[in-house]
Amino acid sequence: MSPPGTTPSLGQPMDRVDGLLKVTGQARYAGEYQELGLLYASVVSSTIASGRIVSIDTSAAMQVPGVVAVLDHTNRPHIASYDEDYTDADSAEGSPFRPFYNDRVLYSGQPLALVVADTLELARYAGSLVRIEYQVDGHETNLTAVKETAHTAPAETPKPRGDFQAGFASAAVTMDAHYTTPNEHHNPMEPHASTVLYRDDDCLEIHDKTQGPQNCQDYLHKVFGLGKDKIRIFAAFVGGAFGSGLRPQYQLPLAVMAALHLKRSVRVTLTRQQMFTFGYRPNTLQRLRLGASADGKLVAVGHDVIGQTSRFEDFTEHVVEWSGMLYQCDNVQLTYKLAPLDVYTPLDMRAPGAASGMIGLECAMDELACAAGIDPVQLRVVNFAERNGNEDKPYSSKELRACYEQGAERFGWSKRNPEPRSMREGRQLVGWGMAGGVWEAMQMKASAKASIDSDGKLTVSSATTDIGTGTYTVMTQIAAEAAGVMPQNVTFVLGDSSLPTAPLQGGSFTVSSVGTAVQQACHALRAKLLDAVRMANPQYAVVDIKDVGFGDGYLHIDDQRFSYADIVRDSSHDVLDVQIDCEPDEKREGYATATHSAVFVEVRVDEDLGSVQVNRVVSAVAAGRVVNPKMARSQILGGVVWGISQALQEESQTDHNLGRVMNHSLAEYHIPVNADIGDIDVVFVEENDSIVNDLGSKGVGEIGIVGVAAAIANAIFHATGKRVREFPITLDKVL
């Protein structure tokens, strides 16, 4: 029951509550916290891909005035855990990378020394004077060269179902093609940095670029043997991450190492070039085999993938699973193998696995549509899956048909001439392509605390982060509606390891997980407010909460209303507060949960130059309840831009002779600029889901990128008649 005049917050396009701080420069990031006497450290990186350190000569560096110390594997402080295995919340299977562990060089760009000085400029200059002599071993960084030796990944791939070989052999229409996707590096605007503020008795206050402050706290606790009460991690603002902050990166243990060694506060900031010396989206080699009946019904789906990993860890992601769940098929065979290389371990990157694997699947579906003479949208509708075949479970909700329908209508798909090279404007060939998208709708355990003071101000907290997604804002909206207060009277606190437990921010599950915890905490706070009213007003001692209204900062019973501020003041407490621990509801267990999308793209291809321009995109998304359509649209826009980048430009290019990324700067690592982006239209398809979580929200952070690159590739084929299966699709490949 809501009283008249209550303004619901959910579903409203509210502006960012942190927007003013960001645009006025008041938001401070990990590398911006100052302290008197703060030292600055610069990382010296390896120049070889494999071998041993014979000697490190730091004498010239130490003679530079203002240099305080140079640390390396020979003089670092003793770290007991380096003799044991330790993990973090996003660790891969194997032995994690230990900076300064021993004399082994495992990959090019590995941190080998840390120069600590009074200023960053001095530290970097002194770092250039460190001389390292190596014993160089042979290395291999080319996935294609070692694909035959790949081993089955330790991650559990869905078991085969039916008889793929027989289904494929008997199919009326078949396609068998290979696709490759490159390595990509995250390159968020804010580089990775850690500012370790040293306090007495080895207590550390650390500002870190991370997607999980409690994960970093747990990691440092395990590595350095410090009590968790001595480590507090802050991440109030994060300038983009895309997965790069899921694991603690090496600047964090190096900064802590230096701070503990010197008993001083230390900052380590990685250069843009060093942002290419840790995790990335891994290269994949994919083979897709699809078989269908004459009317387009799939009778066989085979998806085989080889991905790369490091020699010390097996990094796995869900690359092939989507091919077993997006479409209805009884004969499915999925394989996923890994090839170890002399590289750093890959890392989750926006829509990990799906962004790569769906390129193969959705390009193959387009090729099958052409072979069968069926419209690409119709082929997908014909093969619509009511259940997730991998789990054999029905979906909690799935408005994918509506995505196809509404996206196609908005785009004008019915006007498409299916014949390749049939549409043009002058020297520009025009192509229309489409693809589907899917991402799992997950929920994790999370906790939240809600408190209200005698001014009626609500404070809600949880140890999550905001990596630019709008967490501050949507949690404010969820709390405002759940507690019955105006959004301007809500403060949401995050980015602090001492707050109630929260999962890593990733996987599009923050709203589902933390948001549900916030909602439940605010509902519990309402019950506490009612209890206070019952105590003070005996006539309402037995009133049922279902008969009470909460809104605009007031509790309503019959024709009486009590302001929250008055209730707190009359309760003889400074604040009323409550903390709850929230777990996914058991009712989820009988269902598969996922977000879906349909992406429609128009490209213009210059017939003489082979250059491709994405002229317009329509992305129709079914993601359950959209808490803030403005933030959600922003997320989809960002995902589409990245999909354009993935299709046409983005690639970390390795010189395999050196085993080193060559284009390790934003000048040479090509990503789109404003001039590359045409019109992007986002359609949120209505989808009601009471099973996925109490909010009915599925998350939108990942789904925006999924399917975009495939839709562009399919549009390029429609424009030119040429299939390019090696990504990115650069003009030399089109020509």
Write out 158-212 in H/E/C secondary structure: CCCECCHHHHHHHCCEEEEEEEEECCECCCCCCCCEEEEEEEHHHEEEEEECCCC
Q: What is the DSSP string of 487-534?
A: GGGEEEE-SBTTSSP---S-TT-HIIIIIHHHHHHHHHHHHHHHHHHH
Q: What are phi and psi of 710, to 5 degrees?
A: -65, -40
Cβ contacts of 346 within 8 Å, gap of 6 or more: 183, 279, 280, 281, 282, 307, 308, 309, 310, 315, 317
Dihedral sign of CA atoms 58, 56, 267, 125 in order: positive
| CA distance linking residue 73 with residue 53, whole number of Å | 10
Would you tell me how many other CB atoms lie within 10 Å of the CB of residue 156? 9
Two tokens at 269?
A: 């900031």
Let me know if 702 is a catalytic residue.
Answer: yes
Q: Which residue in 156, 481, 702, 726 is the catalytic one?
A: 702
User: Quick one: angle between helices 629-648 and 354-372, nearest 10?
Assistant: 70
Amino acid identity of residue 448, one-letter, is A
Which residue carries 């549409």 as its tokens? 423
Amino acid identity of residue 229, one-letter, is D
Cβ contact 505:212 at 8 Å:
yes
Cβ contact 193:30 at 8 Å:
yes
Cβ contact 505:465 at 8 Å:
yes
Cβ contact 161:80 at 8 Å:
no
| CA distance linking residue 695 with residue 138, whole number of Å | 54
- The residues facing 605 across adjacent strands are 429, 612
| CA distance linking residue 389 with residue 325, whole number of Å | 5
Would you tell me how many other CB atoms lie within 10 Å of the CB of residue 262? 17
| CA distance linking residue 340 with residue 140, whole number of Å | 9
| CA distance linking residue 568 with residue 457, whole number of Å | 10
Among residues 731, 686, 683, 729, which one has the least CA distance to residue 710? 729
User: Quick one: angle between helices 251-262 and 213-224, nearest 10?
Assistant: 50
What Cα–Cα distance (Å) separates residue 112 from each residue in 75, 148, 546? Answer: 12, 32, 63
Active-site positions read 702
